[in-house]
Amino acid sequence: MIGSTIAQMAVQSGAQVTILDAMLPAYGGNLFNLQGIHDAIKFVLGDIRDAELVKSQIPGMDYIFSLAGQVSYVDSNTDPLLDLEINCKGHIQVLEACRQAKTKARLIFASSRFVYGKIDYNPVDEGHPFNCLSIYGIHKLAGEKYYRFYHEAYGLETVSVRIANPYGPRQQMKHSKYGILNWFIRLALEGKPLTIYGDGRQGRDYIFVEDLAEAMFALGLAPGTSGQVYNLGTGTGTPFIEMAHLVAAAVPGTQVQQVEWPADRYFVETGDYVSDIGKITGAVAWRPRTALKEGIARTVDYYRRYREKYW
Ligand SMILES: NC(=O)c1ccc[n+]([C@@H]2O[C@H](COP(=O)([O-])OP(=O)(O)OC[C@H]3O[C@@H](n4cnc5c(N)ncnc54)[C@H](O)[C@@H]3O)[C@@H](O)[C@H]2O)c1
């Protein structure tokens, strides 16, 4: 989702783009996401765990958006070693390849709000404690630290972002383990009810994928940000149940229903989360532009048109 959105913007801005993706079935890789730019880019089917392949792709790069990931916090707890393999070892391999190639490229690493885990206060700034509640959060934190280490020890130009709750076009719609807002849109488009656990008052910071991509772009172009980590959200919290009602309003006829929390899910519930985006907005001329209602409408419209490419 995020990589292809960045690629679309990069091609529009005149950049030469290479995408390296392993297309692992559990995650969101989808060649349809490259609609309109297939002929303008180079696509490499490959895995960041393949050191030689990664090394061969580094020369000539000015910007490396380091987005490959095991993306499910749920799966990270049931298959922690796979998460370790991709989110830690894979990214060390990317960094090693960059170090050996002596690249001057800017590296922008996708970390996560899950590094904060259980939330002590809102809005959450970058100094908030790391109360990780998932293997995914622990490994993303390690990932950030690897990127920072390679900046400090070897001078690589790295920066990390802690992404809040992204949604929007090009996200996978195969299962519910990643990106609940998009999943609700799928359910709504299928005429199914949206189920809320508990009272649904927990706040989330939903960021439209194009706003997110623009922020990562802006950080890529801002060399003074090397070695830093930035929250990347909208700075606005929306109660879960309000988000569900916005989806229901965008797809008329959708029912919203509330049930008890299932025992296995409660463990990873973090409490309210709202990003403090003061650090990133102080560093680059970026602001989130898309209101939740508008972003949901655009996402619904996208999947109405291209449903068969994602279901
Ligand atoms: N709040 C969060 O935790 C959060 C939210 C969004 C994104 N992110 C991070 O941003 C990145 C992009 O996420 P996305 O939303 O675009 O998800 P996505 O699933 O659409 O994209 C991830 C891509 O990584 C590829 N991939 C996975 N393992 C790979 C490997 N070993 N080698 C090469 N490619 C591999 C997948 O095929 C997929 O195309 C991920 O690292 C994700 O963890 C974090």
pLDDT digits (tens, 9 = 90+) for 92-135: 999 999 999 999 999 999 999 999 999 999 999 999 999 999 99
What does the pLDDT read at residue 174?
A: 92
Cα(229) to centroid(ligand 1), Å: 18
For ligand 1, say whether the CB of 141 is within 6 Å of any of its atoms.
no
Distance CA(303)–CA(300), nearest Å, equals 5
pTM higher than the cut 0.85: yes
Mean pLDDT of 61-84: 96
What tens digit of pLDDT does each residue of 202-247 get?
A: 999 999 999 999 999 999 999 899 999 999 999 999 999 999 999 9
For ligand 1, say whether the CB of 156 is within 6 Å of any of its atoms.
no
Strand partners, 165: 206
For ligand 1, say whether the CB of 112 is within 6 Å of any of its atoms.
yes
Cα(308) to centroid(ligand 1), Å: 22
For ligand 1, say whether the CB of 249 is within 6 Å of any of its atoms.
no
Q: Which atom of ligand 1 is nearest to the CA of 71?
A: 43
What does the pLDDT read at residue 268?
A: 61
What does the pLDDT read at residue 205?
A: 98
Cα(184) to centroid(ligand 1), Å: 20
Cα(67) to centroid(ligand 1), Å: 5
Please report, rounded to a whole number, the percentage of residues in the chain having pLDDT higher than 90. Answer: 93
Q: Cβ atoms within 10 A of the Cβ of 199, count?
A: 11
What are the structure tokens assigned to 126, written together?
């970058």
CATH code: domain 2-309 is: 3.40.50.720
Cα(190) to centroid(ligand 1), Å: 26
pLDDT mean across residues, the chain: 96
Identity of the amino acid at 244: A
Residue 282 phi, psi dihedral angles, 5° rounding: -80, -20
Whether the ω angle into residue 166 lies within 30 degrees of 0, i.e. cis, is no
